[in-house]
A and B are shown apart, each in its own frame.
Chain A
Amino acid sequence: MTVLDWLIALPALGALVVPMMSLPPENQRLIRYFGIAIALVELGLAIGMAVAFKLHTSSYQFVTKVHWIGAFGIAWYLGADGISLVLVLLTAVLFAIAMFTMKGVKDYRAYVGWMLLLEAACMGSFTALDLFLFFVFFELTLVPSYFLISDFGLGASGRAAIKFFVYTFAGSALLLVGIVSLVFIHDHQTGHLTFSLPALMHTRLPKGTAILLFLAFAAAFAVKTPIFPFHTWSPDTYRSAPIPAVVILAGVMAKLGAYGLIRFNLELFPATSRELAWLMLTLGVVGILYGAIVAAGERDLGRMVAYSSLSHMGFIVLGIFAFSTEGLSGSTLQMVNHGIYTAAIFLLLGMIYERRGTLDMNKLGGLQKKAPIFAGVFILVVMGMIGLPGLNGFVGEFLILLGTFITHRWWAVVAVLGVVLSAVYLLWMYQRVFHGEAKDDRSFRDLAPREALLLLPLVALIVVLGVYPIPLLSRINPTTSAIVHHVASAPALGNSGAPQAVASIVTGGAK
């Protein structure tokens, strides 16, 4: 047993225990405390893991491998490299904060239970090294998030939940097909049936098959990230999901997509990634610009942040497919940064909604005069999103653009426009919500101490990671440079044999 097993087992066990805690209504908050306690222990585990993490090596650490379904070569196979590590940290931090955020929920048992299950699934997804295991965790994230959105959301959340579920599920179906095909091709070549990622990395694929498999994997991750044009579920979902859930959805689960692109698309199909980089880079750049433009046209704050996420995730995709260490490190760091400032902005939006019952910019206005501290925290987070140097958004964005510029210059040149556009829509939004005279006489409570405490860790991270991101970067860098090397050194795709290989899958390889 390593720390990774505990990271998954602890919330999973918690999720099992919570439904059994039938307490009288006045003791409901005990369930909440239980959830918070588990999330905090989990955070402690994650921090301990980060401290114990060995620098200067790109190999998987804390590896645990137990045969699970032996007949199909499926194993309980976990391990963490630098990328997994920082995402596990992000997950632990955001879940702890999301647990604290829960307030005014009727059914704490269901809520805490689903949240804990979601945490276990996210942790599992970020550390699984067995494709089947990954798929199980990846799918497992859907169930709790569906219920969190539909049962606890705002407004038309049922419809949004279904949209979310169907979109992601359609992508996952392709992922499953891709995984199974890859495993059988590998079995066919080596006579060794396994779902283990390191083993499958050595599968030789004919060009046509490789491209199909790459696209099958990419589709699932593109929906989750989201990448243009697979994004339309996100504005509806972010708009109507409850705030703690949307913190997790936008902060953690969106990273599952980008993580999957790095871990599976880049590592399993390095040559294909090179071949199709133009496509992914273009989708990334289109996402950056399109997301920013549409965000400027939005009136609803939640939807606006969803489109800004599309734009920011476009940067991350750009860095992933730039194939330079700078770009990939930047993308990984930006995943953490995006998680942090998106979580902060959604918490703030939640507070606005709590006070005013609306997120429509046209109905808000002049809030800075009524709540200066609230406005101060808000503008700090917004500046982080804009990518002001000294705050966290800058470091990742700068590295991504730099890395892309070195290898794919013209994409970076176009993507830089996103830097201007993000200032346009975010500052415009800020002006409409906070500047000017108040539209009515209703008061707007400034930050309560409890709310300030909730935001404090995130705000501190926004500043600290902007000035001193080295602790994260030094853990990310060995892994990213190894992956970049892996991609660069993979032999180019051959042209021969594509049709036969596909045929052999269809007939079950029976020849």
Chain B
Amino acid sequence: MLVLGLVIGFPLLGFLVLLAFGKRIGDPGAGWVGTIAIALSFVAAVVTWILLLSKHAGQRTQVLRLFQWIHAGGFHVNITFRADPLSVVMMLFVTGVAALIHLYSIGYMKRDARFHQFFVYLNLFVFSMLVLVTANNLPLTFLGWEGVGACSYWLISFWFERPSAASAGKKAFIINRIGDMGFMLGTFLVFENLHSVSYSQVLPAAHRLPAGTAEAIALLFFLAAAGKSAQLPLFTWLLDAMEGPTPVSALIHAATMVTAGVYLMARLSPILALAHAASTTIAIIGVVTAFVAAMAATSQTDIKKIVAFSTVSQLGYMMLGIGTGAYVAAIFLMVTHAFYKALIFLSSGSVIHSLDSEQSIRRMGALAKLMPITAWTMIIAWLSIAGVPPFSGFFSKGSILEDAFGRNELLWVVGVVTALLTAYYMGRLVFVVFYGKPRWQEVTKGHEPHESPRIMTIPLIVLAVAAAVAGLLNLPYSGLRFLHNWLSPVFGSALVSYHLSASEKVLLPATDAVVALLGVVIAWRLWRNHSERKALEPTVLLKGWYLDSFYDRTFARGGTALAKFGDRVVDPTIIDGAVGGVAWLFRWVGGLGRKVQSGLVRSYLLIMVGGIVVMLAYVLVSAAR
């Protein structure tokens, strides 16, 4: 499986080359080096896929072992990578989308002072992401997991001169670290019970876990996934993450990194299958996140914030799929989401780029005529995410909702309401930005916005095609469920299939389609000629339910106060005070002794002689007795 090494190796090579010579290669050469590295990685991923395809369905798990990483006591970890149907799907869409976004970035980041550095981070990110999805043991997955987190930190705070960007990067890393506690503790529990952390050994042996332990492991890993995939209550960092350059938001905070949590859950499906309570919790948190974020998305005015809340909402859908055992549906949604959400971000980026970094939709409008490619690709993405047939979102979201219905009708109801909201808020975005009256004159100071250069529109078009037709990957007809057939050996018995009656099989997709169209129509009615409707944009939703300011007030400020208390009070007064008290005591005792030290030799002598007399007397008395 050497080619697997190439998939991971090319981005690493690109990273090292750019790190060493990036500055000399400069703009745009560094961008091309980065893009080519990722494109080669994509080619290698395709080769890997073909190689696996040529094998029998049961033998599609290949392992590449490099060297021993950590060993102590009974704990062994090797640097081993794994190519199986799941990781190949991840590899393909990660490298594919990443290659397109790299290409786009060459145009978007043009003339940035740190152009080459951007691609250094971006290549390192793709490398980490590939390690994450191909690792064959938990600690190595964790390496990729933290690696993407670190790259996300660097890229969010890429424009670190802005304090908000610097803070956003830090916040993203720290909140992810809260999740990482769950990852570490989960790994420990797995090791304690199964004496291994390698997927090859843990996953087949998962059934040996006691039920309670499996629940605990599932919840701990879900904590990690909730951090990385921005689920309640840890999603606030993703909104701030929009401080990064838009290609970063597209690649990391929409298409790939944030879906890592979903991937992790899918990877651990044999353990999840044992944990019913945990699965239910995941499903509920997923659907609530989807709803809460979609509500918040309806009131945002920053174009990237709308899309960010939309991402949180879609990730909630994926977690709903994970929680109901619909792993294939979750992965399917992840792939289609990668296409249309990356597209939405890149189109937004195109708009922002042409409006000199303006992000408020209040100051956009009527851009469809000036930026036709951007507008049309955005509309395709909107119809996809809204779930309008026959675009990809219709099939992927539909299969999630179907399984949710099979599990519990209430989950389905919330899911469908969220779908309505999705079609609505994205419609609002499209109408306010691309139609209505132009409101950007102040921003551009006279000159007209124009379509982005070809290097940026080509990725848009490719992604638009993918977003439109990706439904073909997994059509809900028996012979055409390609993704399902490809992935089902990985999940095996963990994959839950619900039996729906024939009428339900027709009615559920029909409902989805109707709801999607309804959302589109409502958006058209309300926002075609308006850019502002105070009644529909309440502050509580604009502020994201005040969750962030709540955290800021309690944890951030409380923590700072505690830290200052420790530094200014506990250490100098209590601990040093105790030590100082001892010192003072000695000084006091010494002060008593000082009085004897008169400095007069004769008084010393007198004391000495007195001492001799006393000792002699003692000796004589005791001898006489």
List residues of A whose CB falls within 8 A of some B CB: 166-167, 229, 231-232, 235, 290, 293-298, 324-326, 329-330, 366, 368-369, 372, 379, 383, 388-390, 394-395, 398-399, 401-403, 405-406, 412-413, 416-417, 419-420, 423-425, 427-428, 431, 434-437, 467-470, 473-474, 476-477, 480-481, 484
Contacts and interface: CB of A to CB of B under 8 A. Distances in A.
Nearest to B567: A297
Contact of B139 (A398, A417, A437): A398
Main SS of chain B's interface residues? helix
A463 to B, nearest CB: 12
Given A294-B570, A296-B560, A401-B188, A480 B139 contact: no
B373 interface: no
27 contacts: A232-B575, A293-B559, A294-B567, A294-B570, A297-B560, A297-B563, A329-B72, A366-B161, A379-B154, A388-B147, A394-B146, A398-B184, A402-B75, A403-B73, A405-B188, A405-B189, A412-B185, A419-B177, A423-B173, A424-B559, A431-B166, A437-B161, A467-B69, A470-B68, A477-B71, A477-B72, A480-B73
Considering residues A425, A435, A481, which has the most beta carbons from chain B within 10 angstroms of its beta carbon? A435
Given A167-B579, A406-B192, 9 more contacts: A232-B576, A235-B571, A298-B567, A388-B147, A389-B139, A405-B189, A412-B185, A420-B174, A480-B73
B556 to A, nearest CB: 9
B620 interface: no
Contacts of B180: 419-420
B593 to A, nearest CB: 18
Nearest to B574: A229
A330 B72 contact: yes
Contacts of B469: none
B571 A416 contact: no
A414 to B, nearest CB: 11
A434 B157 CA distance: 11
B147 A297 contact: no
A402 B147 contact: no
Contacts, number: 154
A436 B163 contact: yes
Residue from A232, A389, A428 having most chain B Cβ neighbours under 10 A: A389
Contacts of A383: 150
Contacts of A295: 563
B55 interface: no
Contact of B142 (A166, A325, A389): A389
Interface residues of B, number: 57
A333 to B, nearest CB: 8
B594 interface: no
A407 to B, nearest CB: 10
Contacts of B578: 229
Given A296-B560, A297-B564, A389-B142, A473 B71 contact: yes
Contact of B566 (A294, A326, A388, A484): A294
Given A293-B563, A413-B185, A427-B170, A468 B69 contact: yes
B160 A435 contact: yes
B608 to A, nearest CB: 27
A390 B147 contact: yes
B447 interface: no
B568 interface: yes
A348 to B, nearest CB: 18
Interface in B137-165: 139, 142-143, 145-147, 150, 153-154, 157, 160-161, 163
A167 B576 CA distance: 11
B73 A324 contact: yes
Contact of A434 (B160, B562, B567): B160
Contact of A481 (B69, B73, B142, B177): B73
Interface in B526-571: 559-560, 562-568, 570-571
Contact of A294 (B160, B166, B571): B571
Contacts of A325: 72-74
A326 B75 contact: yes
Contacts of A368: 160
Contacts of B559: 293, 296, 424
